[in-house]
Homo-oligomer: A and B are copies of this chain.
Amino acid sequence: MRNNKYYTIYLEWAEKIKSGEIKPGEILPSENDLTKTYKTSRETIRKALNLLAQNGFIQKVKGKGSIVLDVQKMSLPFSGLVSFKEVSEHSGMKTKTTVHEFALMKPNEFIKQQLQASPKDEVWKIVRSRNINGEEIILDKDYLLRKHVPFLSKEICEGSIYEYLEKKLKLNISFAKKEIIVEKVTDEDRKYLELDRFDHIVVVKNHVYLDDAALFQYTESRHRLDKFRFVDFARRGL
């Protein structure tokens, strides 16, 4: 994956904590011990431990050591930036994706605004619904700038767009600005989802950026109220 020393060490201990080999409340070996076992410098060990702390695996306490946190009940999957496919694979639910719209279009005013596109930019529009355990629950509306994604197909959209972008196109998705609000249900929502008598829907709006800070995708993920869940680990201040 990466040939960073500190990242390998991070993965190794993240795995030990996730698997339960090390239990919440226990203390990791000290930084000095770790420099010896890994034959590396202390700053490198500290980079690995800081990653663990940032991601909610440990809490570092001055004078004491690195305390393992309870990461089990976090059900991390929905946190941060993850694609539907990654989530569903981890959670072991039966899922199915249906593509309802797939087109290359000129951006309308709304999309031009969201993607900061120029009038001559072309945009892929994809509308998909997600079936989880037999119910149509999520409606995903994706808009991608053709500038960054020259080719796309309906078949790719039935799988994971992200996998295609990262593995085939070697695009590096780097960060996203996310907004969660609740909106009134639209006709489109009712058309593709099983909404019963719900008249509101949770909308997750995402602006996604590449590693050169270029905005390349705008996504609206529309979730039925009763099935929506978002979990997050947040450190205060810095």
Contact = CB atoms under 8 A, between A and B. Distances in A.
Contact of A236 (B43, B175, B212, B225): B175
Nearest to A64: B212
A212 B58 CA distance: 11
Contacts of A69: 213
B180 A180 contact: yes
Contacts of A181: 228-230
Contacts of A235: 80-81, 174-175
The complex is assembled from copies of this chain, and their number is: 2
Contacts of A102: none
B51 A233 contact: no
B59 A209 contact: yes
Interface string A209-238: 101110000000000011011111111101
A192 to B, nearest CB: 20
Interface string A165-188: 000000001111111111000000
A19 to B, nearest CB: 19
